[in-house]
Amino acid sequence: MTSHPQDLRPDTITVSAGRPPRGHDSPVNPALILSSTFHETESPRDGDRIYGRMSNPTWDPFEEALAELEGAELPALVFSAGLGAAAAALSLIPTGGTLVIPRNAYGGSISLAEAEAAKGHLKLIQVDIAETAEVIDHLHGAHMLWIESPTNPMLEVAETQSLTEAAHAVGAVVVVDNTFNTPLISRPLDYGADIVLHSVTKYLAGHSDVVLGALVTSNKEVRAELKTHRTLHGAIAGPFEVWLALRGLRTLALRMDRSQSNAMELATRLASHPAIAKVRYPGLHKDPGHQRAKDQLKGFGGIVSIELESREAADALVKSVRLWLPATSLGGVESLIERRRRQPGEPVTVPESLVRLSVGIENVEDLWADLDQALSTSAGQTG
Ligand SMILES: *Cc1c(COP(=O)(O)O)cnc(C)c1O
């Protein structure tokens, strides 16, 4: 790992980590290495590159940078996608073992867990992750607790530390999907989580131009098992995607700051807009997750979910925006808007009239003006 003269702050680490060693004429950025195979040596050593499904030099700087940001003692593992990383994490559950997962976790993670459960690979218990006592009740005999907080797109906030301690007390592995927060807002390894998952596709890469995932852990045996899964399942990232992700990571702190301040301003204005039935944003004082978010997180994030009067009004809003982009995904520089239930895989606990806003880094007045005009246009639509 790149050695630093002192303990650096996270926003500095995003800029300084994963750079090549200093030296005469040495580049300041890591090279993009496109090679599927590597020269054999006469005396093979542990960690030799061998073949591109096992390792690639372009993965290393990103894996080191992400580990440094998450406070991990071992390099992260980059995967083909967030769900590729999720599949590797689920593979730690022994056949027939129990997984406890938030009812409103990211739809893809739930679909994957349900598919595994349908084949008898695991037993699935879905919980309301904000209800600490309910979650703890279900942990008995569990092999893995999956935490997502705030959840996507309901933005429920969990008591992550208590849940992690309760899971460890029964010997369960704790996986935290930290995609929404990024390590700038929360570092799950610090409160004892075993594995951190990222959809790097979102904030870390930040430009909606790569699909990528990652796992971070400080446990040597766990990391080795996850890496073997990655190699044998071929869930590997293309070097160019990883190179782009490190480039994106350099501006993470600036993007998060802007996205969060925009989100706070828009959530506040939306909360008093007559066309909006409900605003979900942990930054709002009235939000049920506000106190927990304040206690546990270093920010409230860039995602705001709103509920309109009806599904029709929600569809009309999405159809009427001109600057916001109607598209799924989140965490990019551009603001995206989506009625989540239009996705067939979305949990039915997500209201039909819910629209998720991924707030980008544009000028907040332009974002507001566009939402406001679209809300007036859609106000005439009734269920
Ligand atoms: C997008 C997303 C994932 C899945 O990641 P992919 O990169 O799309 O495979 C997992 N968790 C959360 C919270 C997400 O937003």
> Please, which residues have CB within 8 angstroms of residue 167's CB and are 6 or more apart in sequence?
100, 139, 142, 145, 173, 174
Output the CA 327–ligand 1 centroid distance in Å. Answer: 14
Within its chain, how far is the Cα of 185 from the centroid?
12
Output the CA 51–ligand 1 centroid distance in Å. Answer: 28
| Helical spans, DSSP H, in 101-251 | 107-118, 132-138, 160-169, 220-233, 239-249
Bridge partners, residue 98, by sequence: 123
Q: SS3 for 136? A: helix
Ligand 1 atom index nearest CA of 108: 4
| Pairwise CA distance, residues 274 & 308, whole Å | 10
Burial, 18: exposed, middle or buried (Cβ in 10 Å; 0-12, 13-18, 19+)? buried
| Pairwise CA distance, residues 7 & 246, whole Å | 21
The dihedrals phi and psi of 124, each to the nearest 5 degrees, come to -115, 130
The CA-atom distances, in angstroms, between 261 and each of 11, 265, 300, 302 are 17, 6, 9, 8
| Helical spans, DSSP H, in 10-131 | 10-16, 59-70, 82-90, 107-118
The dihedrals phi and psi of 310, each to the nearest 5 degrees, come to -155, 165
The vertex-89 CA angle with 250 and 54, nearest 5°, equals: 70
Q: In this predicted structure, what is the pLDDT of residue 4?
A: 56
Ligand 1: residues with CB < 6 A are 81-83, 106, 108-109, 148, 152, 177, 179-180, 199, 201-202, 211, 213
The vertex-278 CA angle with 361 and 378, nearest 5°, equals: 75
Q: In this predicted structure, what is the pLDDT of residue 3?
A: 54
| Pairwise CA distance, residues 21 & 98, whole Å | 45
Output the CA 346–ligand 1 centroid distance in Å. Answer: 13
Positions annotated as catalytic residues are 53, 106, 177, 202
Ligand 1 atom index nearest CA of 329: 1
Q: Please tell me the residue having the least CA distance from ligand 1 atom 6.
A: 82
Tokens representing residue 351 in the block: 């209201």
With residue 99 as reference, give the H or E element that holds it: strand 97-102
Whether this model's pTM surpasses 0.85? yes
Query: Is residue 297 a contact partner of residue 181, using CB atoms and an 8 Å limit?
Result: yes
| Pairwise CA distance, residues 143 & 172, whole Å | 4
| Helical spans, DSSP H, in the chain | 10-16, 59-70, 82-90, 107-118, 132-138, 160-169, 220-233, 239-249, 252-271, 290-296, 311-320, 364-378
Bridge partners, residue 303, by sequence: 358
Edge-to-edge strand ranges of the sheet holding 276-280: 276-280, 303-308, 354-358, 336-339, 325-326
Closest C-alpha among 218, 214, 211 to residue 192:
218
Residue-wise pLDDT tens for the chain (383 aa)? Answer: 445 556 899 999 999 999 999 999 999 999 999 999 999 888 888 878 899 999 999 999 999 999 999 999 999 999 999 999 999 999 999 999 999 999 999 999 999 999 999 999 999 999 999 999 999 999 999 999 999 999 999 999 999 999 999 999 999 999 999 999 999 999 999 999 999 999 999 999 999 999 999 999 999 999 999 999 999 999 999 999 999 999 999 999 999 999 999 999 999 999 999 999 999 999 999 999 999 999 999 999 999 999 999 999 999 999 999 999 999 999 999 999 999 999 887 888 999 999 999 999 999 999 999 999 999 987 765 54
Q: In this predicted structure, what is the pLDDT of residue 254?
A: 98
Closest C-alpha among 201, 193, 104 to residue 150:
104
Bridge partners, residue 338, by sequence: 356
Output the CA 260–ligand 1 centroid distance in Å. Answer: 19
- DSSP codes of every residue in 112-129: HHHHHHHTTSEEEEEE-T
Q: Please tell me the residue having the least CA distance from ligand 1 atom 9.
A: 82
Residue with tokens 């566009």: 370
The percent helix, strand, coil of the chain (3-state, each to 5) is 35, 15, 50
Strands 195-199 and 173-177: parallel
Specify the DSSP class assigned to residue 48: -
Amino acid at residue number 65: A
| Pairwise CA distance, residues 106 & 96, whole Å | 23
Q: In this predicted structure, what is the pLDDT of residue 6?
A: 66
